[in-house]
Amino acid sequence: MIPKKLRAIATALFLGVVTAAAGGALTVTPAQAAVRAAVGKPLQAAQAAAAAGNYSAAMARVREAEAVGGLTGEEQKIIKQMRDYISVKSGGSVGVDSAVGAQAKFDSDYRAGRYRDAINDADLLRRYGALSGTNMVIIAQAYYRMGAYKDCARYAADHSGLGSDILELQMRCAYEAHDDTLMRGALEQLVASTGKPEHWARLLKFSEGAKALSDHQTLDINRIKLLTGTLKGESDYFLLATLAIQFGLPSEAVTVIQKGFQAKILSGDRANKLMKMAQDGAAGDLASLPKTVAAANKAKNGDLLVKLGEDYCGMGRYADAVAAVQAGIDKGVSDNDNAQVRLGQALYGAGKKDAALKAFAKAKDKPNGEMIAHLWSLYVRGH
């Protein structure tokens, strides 16, 4: 960062080299503005001293030029350029009285590994209006390099609107600080802002570690893995298909296994046997569907209707799924979180995205139920 600024300032000064002119005045090209010898000569000396690394002497000569009375606008401009040049070349060790100088000190402190000084430079940068988003990300990096992971995570969280770079730092520092809340927050924001599979994979893996996670909730996590392209190996496909069969959703299992075959992840006798089991189950499920519907309608509460709706989703019959789950909720259910997730899943499948998000938002009775609904919401918002 400094070399670029230094080259820019040095170029400006080179183009504006003070040269002798008739009548004892000095001129500055290319502007051709008059600069008096009393101002130009000490500035030439300042530039020479700075080039030799004698920054204190260089600044003394700048102050000599500043002391000349009646400075013109062009003379003030050249003096400021020289101050900035010296400040940048010295790494902010002298002459910090502008945004350029503050940036130079900050850059120099960070590059030299003076991370605490770089962090403290934030006040200096702010004073001169130079505290940019890029600088804030570097400040978070300074905390990280110091090993101050809690401070890093909190600082990054406070400035999370700056984008994916600082969110990545928040996630990394929160992990090191064992702060699950800030880590999850960073992952969710990364998923929401980028939708990248790698962020989804981290978030879903993190979610799998939740305490007291039920098999049904594990099924949902793996469903979202399939949707986000993060269901990778053979064991992942077998797990999802097996869970679907276990919960009486054989049509969904058939779809999962077919996708595994298409992705060339599933093959061989074991996969063929699992497919045969799922297909047989789906055929039996379809044959007994009228009895299942009748039993669900006669039941005292709506749990069987919610279960029927989930099965309809696996068949791709989303309008029927919405009707069944909604009827179950109206009748009363034993697990509101699951019912709202099922309703949201069905509504999304039916193309009713806004209504699906409203359903997911109603799943908030228990932490894990709310978490699963939130994962579905993140997916639906991005698709």
pLDDT of residue 22: 31
Tens digit of each residue's pLDDT (9 = 90 or more) over 219-229? 999 999 999 99
Tell me how many degrees the CA angle 370-341-178 measures, rounded to the nearest 5.
Answer: 30
Name all domains of the chain by residue range, CATH numbers in brackets. 2-100 (no CATH), 102-198 (1.25.40), 213-381 (1.25.40.10)
Q: What is the mean pLDDT of the chain?
A: 89
d(CA 307, CA 343): 11
pLDDT of residue 189: 96
Identify the band that residue 17 occupies on the pLDDT scale cut at 50, 70 and 90: very low
Stated pTM of the model: 0.80
pLDDT of residue 65: 83
Identify the band that residue 30 occupies on the pLDDT scale cut at 50, 70 and 90: very low
d(CA 242, CA 253): 7
pLDDT of residue 15: 37
Whether omega before 30 lies within 30 degrees of 0, making that bond cis, reads yes
- Answer yes or no: is pLDDT of 31 > 50: no
pLDDT of residue 6: 45
Q: Which tokens belong to 58?
A: 């260089």
**Residues β-bridged to residue 173:** none
User: Poorest-confidence range of 24-28, 233-237, 271-275, 322-326?
Assistant: 24-28
Tens digit of each residue's pLDDT (9 = 90 or more) over 278-337? 999 999 999 999 999 999 999 999 999 999 999 999 999 999 999 999 999 999 999 999
Tens digit of each residue's pLDDT (9 = 90 or more) over 138-159? 999 999 999 999 999 999 999 9
The proportion of the chain whose per-residue pLDDT surpasses 70, expressed as a percent, equals: 91
Cβ neighbours of residue 371 closer than 8 Å, sequence gap 6 or more: 207, 210, 217
pLDDT of residue 11: 43
Tens digit of each residue's pLDDT (9 = 90 or more) over 276-288? 999 999 999 999 9
Instruction: Assign 18 to helix, strand or coil.
Output: strand
φ/ψ of 36, rounded to 5, equals: -70, 155
Q: Give me the mean pLDDT over the 98-120 stretch.
A: 93
